[in-house]
Amino acid sequence: MANEFTGVIDRFEGEQAVILLESDGETVDEVVIPREDLPADGRRVDAVLRVVREGGEIIELEFDAVETKQRKESVTDQFDRLSERPD
């Protein structure tokens, strides 16, 4: 049975990508795969991926450009609010 997760590239260790798998907004697992197995447009830290696993094996990886952009904008907005000084 296949399970779908949201994956976020946490870091690179040499030529390996460490991906945090999320379900319902919570990190539930971590997988390490060769960087070359990532979608070409999603080979960067904080890229968001749609990950499908079956029997512990990743059977599908797809870069989610919309979610990646939304998360980046959300973090930027939070940082901007924190850096504002009260008058």
Tell me the CATH number at 76. 2.40.50
pLDDT of residue 81: 77
pLDDT digits (tens, 9 = 90+) for 15-37: 999 999 999 989 999 999 999 99
Return the sign of the alpha-carbon dihedral for residues 73, 75, 76, 81: positive
Determine the 3-state secondary structure of 69 from DSSP.
helix
Whether the pLDDT of residue 64 is over 90: the answer is yes
The kind and range of the H/E element at 21 are: strand 16-23
> How confident is residue 87, by pLDDT bands cut at 50, 70 and 90?
low
Query: CA torsion 72→26→57→10, rounded to 10°?
Result: 40
Q: What percent of the chain has pLDDT over 90?
A: 76
Domain that holds residue 45: 2-83
Q: Structural domain tally of the chain?
A: 1
